[in-house]
A and B are shown apart, each in its own frame.
Chain A
C-alpha cells in the first residue's frame, strides 16, 4: 500500500485535483487556538455581563452554548471552511469531493464532536484520525468531510533569470529530469549549505570543469525547462 497525504479527487472534467490532507497535529493545534479564543471571549463577556446580574448570567450561558456548538459551524460555513484557528494553521474543512462545506455537513461533524471527545481529550477522534486513510475523525466520517491544507503554492520561474542554462552531458531518465528541475526551482526553501550538500552527492558524475555543483544543477534544470 502506498502511504501518501495527497488526496486525489477526479473532477467531472476528468482531471485529478489534488489536496494535501492535514493530520492530527496541525488540527489539534488549530483546535487549541480556537479553544483559547473561545475561552477569552467568554472571559471578556463574563466581565462585561457582571453588571447585569442574573440576567447577565443567563446571557453568558447562552453565549457559552453558542460558542460551544455554533462557533465552528458559523465559521466553516461562512468563512470558507476555516475557523480562526484553522486559518492560523492554513487548513480548512472541505467535503470529500473538495467542494466547500455547507451547513448540513458542518452541523453533523460538529454535533458528533461529542463522540470524538469521548471518553476524554478527543481519544476516540484521535484513534479514528490515525486509522483512517484520510485522517478523518468520527464526525468527518459521518459528514463526508476532510481537512486539507489551504496554501497558495509559490511558483516563479523568474528565480532562474540569473542562471546560465547548461546542456547536460549525458542522457537523463524522466525521474532525473524532474529531480533537476525541482531542485532548480526550490531554491528559496533550502539553505545554501543544504543545497551544496545535495548537489555535491552527484559531483563525481559532473564534467571535470564544474566548480560550483549547485550552479551546474540549476543550469541543467533551467535547460530542461526549455531555456537555450
Chain B
C-alpha cells in the first residue's frame, strides 16, 4: 500500500484517537473503553509505517500519537492515600533498620570527632580557633552568655519566625547535600559528617569550658534529638550511595546506584520530616527563656527517647514482617 492510500484510509482514526487523548479526563466512556485496543491498533500502524519506510513526517506523527497513548495507558498516577501513614508506621523504621550498618558507620564518623573535639576544646581554650575564626567564636560566646535575657542564636521575640526560616533553609539544605555528595564514593558524606562533628563538638566543649552550661545545654537538648540524628541518617543514606558505587556486587555500577538511591530515599523523606520538626522546636521552644531548665531537660530527654524508640524499637515484629514482605520493592 502506498503512503497516501494508507493515510487516506486511517487518518480519520488517528484524528479520533488524538481527540480522545486531548480530552483525557473528559473523554466519554465509550472512547475510554476502546482506548487500549485502539492504542494497540495504532502501534500496529506505526510498525507498518516503519517497515514500509513511509516518510519520516508520517512516522513522526504516529510515533508522537503512540508516545502520548503510551503515557496515558502506562503512566497512570496511582492514588494511594494510605501511603504516607504506611511510610511512618513501617516504611521509615524499616528503611533505617535494614541499613543499620550504614547508620553505625555514619554515627561513628559524626560522634567520634564530636567527642574528640569536645574534649580537646574543653582542656585547651585555643583549639576552637582552629575550626572557627575569632569573630564567629565571639558571636557564639555572646549568644549563650548566661546574663543574656533570651539565649539561643538570636534574642528578639519576632526573630523566632526568622530563625525558623533559617533552620529550614540551612539545616535541611545541609542534610540534602550531605546525602547527595555521598555519590562520590561516600567521601563527601564522610567529610560533611566529620566536619559537622568537629565544629559542633568544638562549640560544645568550648562553651562547657566557659561554664555556659546553664544556657547552652537546655537550648540544644530539645531539638538536638531530631537534628543531630537526622544529620547522621542523611550521612548514612549518602554512604549507601557511595558504597553502591564502590562495590556494586552482582549489578552493574549504574544499576547498583539506582537500587541504593531508591532505598536511600526512604530514609531521606524521614530526614526531611525530622528536620522540619527540629526547626520548629529550635525556633519556638528551645529559644524560649520562659521555661525553667528542668522542664527543658525533661522534654529534651523525652524527645530523645521518642526518636530512638520510634526509629529502632517501635513495633519490631511488624516492621520486620513489613521488611520481609517488601524485600523486592
Contacts and interface: CB of A to CB of B under 8 A. Distances in A.
For chain A, give the interface size range: 35 or more
Interface string B1-44: 11111110000000000000000000000000000000110011
A14 B43 CA distance: 8
A224 B7 CA distance: 14
The 3 A-B residue pairs with the shortest CB-CB distance, nearest first, are: A226-B2, A58-B165, A61-B165
B133 interface: no
A62 B5 contact: no
Main secondary structure, interface of B, reads helix
Interface in A67-114: 68-69, 98-100, 102, 104, 107-108, 111-114
A59 B163 CA distance: 10
Given A68-B173, A114-B177, A181-B3, A54 B159 contact: yes
- Residue in A13, A102, A155 whose Cβ sees the most chain B Cβ within 10 Å: A13
B166 A226 contact: no
Contact of A111 (B7, B46, B71, B176): B176
A15 B47 contact: yes
Contacts of A206: none
Given A155-B60, A226-B4, A69 B47 contact: no
B64 A152 contact: yes
Interface stretch (B51-59, B204-212, B219-227, B296-304): B51-59
B173 to A, nearest CB: 7
B105 interface: no
A141 B67 CA distance: 22
Nearest to B255: A144
A147 interface: no
Nearest to A18: B63
Contact of B166 (A61, A114, A142, A174): A61
Interface of B: 1-7, 39-40, 43-44, 46-47, 50, 53-58, 60-61, 63-64, 66-67, 70-71, 74-75, 77, 156, 158-159, 161-166, 168-169, 172-173, 176-177, 179-181, 183-184, 188, 241, 254, 257-258, 261-262, 265, 268
B66 A11 contact: yes
B63 A155 contact: no
B75 A99 contact: yes
A146 to B, nearest CB: 13
A11 B262 CA distance: 24
B227 to A, nearest CB: 16
